[in-house]
């Protein structure tokens, strides 16, 4: 894997791990507290992010015409359960762990850069690392 791709993959894995921890923390918090964040509000529409009872929902509310007797309210929701959100966030981190484990455990592959060491088993020609005997 090229260094720039590896750097981007490592950064994505770290972000994935941080989002996983945040999703689990919000999941635990949502069982006792209801959090509401208004993302956008106008005279006729409101968009909220609501965290409650193990799920994260995006709710859009459309208010009726600004007339004192008109109380029309329509609402639509998209609900994402926190376990699904945590699993999605952990997937990239899990992929990073699997590739890291495979690269460090596979014989004949440099643990530092992943270069094939069959032709030069004593030193990696790519990065200069000396492989450990296993």
Does residue 20 have a pLDDT over 90? Answer: yes
pTM for the predicted model, two decimal places: 0.62
What's the chain's average pLDDT?
Answer: 82
How would residue 17 be classed by pLDDT, with cut points 50, 70 and 90? very high
- Mean pLDDT over 63-70 rounds to 60
What SS3 class is residue 10?
helix
Q: Would you say residue 55 has pLDDT above 80?
A: yes
Q: Please determine, for residue 69, whether its predicted confidence score (pLDDT) is greater than 60.
A: no
- Give me the pLDDT at residue 19, please: 92
DSSP structural state of residue 119: S
Band (pLDDT 50/70/90 cuts) for residue 41 is: confident
* pLDDT score, position 29: 92
Q: How many CB atoms lie within 10 A of CB 23?
A: 21
Which whole number is the average pLDDT over 64-90? 76
Rg (CA), the chain: 25
Query: What's the CA gap between 133 and 8, in Å, rounded?
Result: 30
Per-residue pLDDT, averaged over 77-95, amounts to: 89
How far CA 95 is from CA of 6, 42, 92, 102, in Å, comes to 13, 42, 5, 11
Range 2-24 average pLDDT: 87
């Amino acid at each position: 894997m090229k260094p720039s791709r590896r750097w981007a993959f490592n950064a994505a894995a770290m972000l994935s791990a941080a989002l996983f921890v945040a999703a689990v923390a919000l999941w635990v918090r949502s069982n006792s507290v209801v959090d509401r964040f208004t993302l956008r509000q106008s005279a006729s529409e409101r968009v909220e992010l609501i965290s409650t009872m193990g799920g994260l929902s995006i709710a859009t509310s459309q208010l009726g015409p600004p007339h004192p007797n008109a109380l029309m309210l329509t609402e639509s929701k998209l609900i994402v359960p926190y376990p699904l959100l945590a699993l999605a966030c952990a997937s990239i981190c899990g992929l990073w762990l699997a590739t890291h484990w495979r690269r460090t455990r596979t014989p004949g592959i440099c643990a530092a850069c992943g270069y094939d060491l069959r032709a030069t088993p004593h030193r990696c020609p790519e990065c200069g690392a000396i492989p450990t005997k296993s």
